[in-house]
Structure formats: C-alpha cells, structure tokens
C-alpha cells in the first residue's frame, strides 16, 4: 500500500492545489492529513471543505485545536509570557480565521483525533497525545526514542516543525512530512511524504508563490505581511 501524508497546509490554497495535482501523478492508495489545515493563510474555508470532500482521515494539529478550542492556545501561551506580542498577533489571526470558518467547520476540527494508524504507519501532528510539542530535526536518537518508542508501527510520521526529513532510529523510521503551506527549511516548495512499503520519499512541489502572496494580501488576514515574509523566505519570521 502506498500512503501519502499531507500536513501543515496553513491556509495556503495555491500550494495545496499544486500538491493535489502532484498527488494525481503519484496516485497513492490512501492520503492522510497531518493537521494545521487552516490557520494563517488565504484560503482556510476552501481547504477545510476540500479535505472533507476528499474524505481524507487525519489528525488534529495545534492550530486546529487553537481555532476550535481557544483555551488550548492560552494554556500553551501562558508558559512563555515574554512572547506576549507574538501571542497577540496569533490571536488576531486566529480570531479572523475562526469567524470565516464558522461553527460547523470548527466542530469538525474539534472532532479530529490525535493519531492515525495503519499496518505500517503511525501519524501524529507533533507528539503522541500532544500536538503542541515535538522534537526538532537536530535532536538526538535518545530524544526521539523518548517521544515515539511507545508506538508499535515501523514508520512514525509527524509534522509541526515544517522541516522534512527521514531518519532511521533502531527498528523505526521517523519521518517529518514538512509543510505544504509554510516550509521552514529555506525551500519555499511544498513538501509532503510518499510511503511505498518501507520506502519513505520526501516530495517537493513547486507552486505559484507570487499568486499566493497576492491572495494573502487581499484576504483581509491580520498581519498578512508576516505570512508573506514567512512563505517568501521559507523560514520562521516574527510579526
């Protein structure tokens, strides 16, 4: 069975359309989404609706929880009060996106599970039971084992950090799917994973960056220039 993992779209409709076109070429048997679908982009409604129409199973990301259950974000933000200006910008964007999505879509986001499992692959957004905290790509084998060794599947996939990689640790392959909408590895192309048996491939997909920049600027999204800088640089930025 060939499995695709598509994660961290973050409302980037242009990138999502490009990945959908690539999926038609790679033709996986099943597609899972890794969460963080709608927040901080030009097309949150369209992306949520399309994923629901496609029938993809998936997991809740931290920003999905933030949109559907704002108290989860407040619990996280309270741990780092020195970043108050960053949290305020995130709140402003989330409020805008939450209003656009409406309660029925938010209820659907609220219903997403924290893990998806098939015969070989386990998918979480960040860590098992916690979509807010995950290892970095540079962490040690011991740190990865402490987070994921309780999972029985041979291949464990997560998103959240927006940096794709594939790493063999003991009997497990740990992979990060990267981000469709906001890569943070210096390469603005969208990223997703294609798993064929025990082989895990990172797919990079070019999309019309300038088209998405214009869409973000015309969307009414607060702090739109922050998102423009992020997708232009393919690296984390501050508002």
> Could you tell me if residue 173 is inside a domain?
yes
Number of domains in the chain: 1
Pairing status of strand 121-123 against strand 2-6: unpaired
Q: Are strands 190-196 and 2-6 parallel, antiparallel or unpaired?
A: antiparallel
**pLDDT tens, residue by residue, 89-134:** 999 999 999 999 999 999 999 999 999 999 889 999 999 999 999 9
CA separation for the pair 43, 9 (Å, rounded)? 10
Residue 222 domain-assigned (yes or no): yes
pLDDT of residue 119: 87
What's the predicted TM-score (pTM) here? 0.97
Distance CA 104, CA 36 (A): 17
Is 238 inside any structural domain?
Answer: no
Number of neighbours of residue 138 by Cβ within 10 angstroms = 8
Classified as helix, coil or strand, 192 is strand
- Residue 82: inside a domain: yes
Domain presence at residue 68: yes
**Enclosing domain of residue 34:** 2-233
Per residue of the chain (239 residues), give pLDDT as tens: 999 999 999 999 999 999 999 999 999 999 999 999 999 999 999 999 999 999 999 999 999 999 999 999 999 999 999 999 999 999 999 999 999 999 999 999 999 999 999 988 999 999 999 999 999 999 999 999 999 999 999 999 999 999 999 999 999 999 999 999 999 999 999 999 999 999 999 999 999 999 999 999 999 999 999 999 999 999 999 99
User: What separation in angstroms does the CA of 187 have from each of 41, 96, 105, 133, 175?
Assistant: 18, 28, 31, 23, 18
Q: Is 203 helix (H, G, I), strand (E, B) or coil?
A: strand
Sheet containing strand 121-123, strands side by side: 116-117, 121-123, 155-158, 172-176, 165-169
CATH number of the domain bearing residue 36: 3.60.21.10
Whole-number pLDDT of residue 95 = 98
H or E stretch covering 167: strand 165-169
């Amino acid at each position: 069975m060939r499995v695709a993992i598509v994660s961290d779209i973050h409302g980037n409709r242009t990138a999502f359309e490009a990945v959908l076109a690539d999926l038609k070429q790679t033709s996986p048997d099943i597609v899972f989404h890794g969460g963080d679908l709608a927040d901080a982009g030009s097309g949150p409604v369209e992306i949520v609706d399309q994923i629901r129409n496609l029938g993809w199973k998936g997991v809740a990301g931290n920003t999905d929880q933030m949109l559907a259950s704002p108290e989860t974000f407040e619990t996280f933000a309270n741990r780092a009060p020195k970043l108050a200006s960053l949290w305020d910008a995130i709140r402003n964007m989330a409020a805008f996106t939450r209003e656009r999505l409406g309660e029925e879509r938010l209820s659907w986001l609220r219903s997403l599970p924290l893990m998806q499992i098939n015969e070989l692959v386990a998918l979480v957004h960040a860590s098992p039971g916690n979509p807010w905290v995950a290892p970095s790509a540079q962490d040690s084998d011991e740190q990865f084992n402490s987070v994921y060794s309780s999972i029985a599947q041979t291949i464990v996939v997560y998103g959240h950090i927006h940096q794709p990689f594939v790493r063999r640790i003991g009997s497990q392959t740990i992979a990060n799917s990267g981000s469709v909408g906001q890569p943070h590895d210096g390469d603005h192309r969208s990223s997703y994973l294609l798993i064929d048996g025990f082989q895990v491939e990172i797919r990079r997909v070019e999309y019309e960056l300038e088209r998405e920049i214009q869409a973000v600027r015309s969307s009414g999204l607060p702090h739109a220039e922050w998102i423009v800088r992020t997708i232009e640089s393919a690296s984390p930025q501050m508002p």
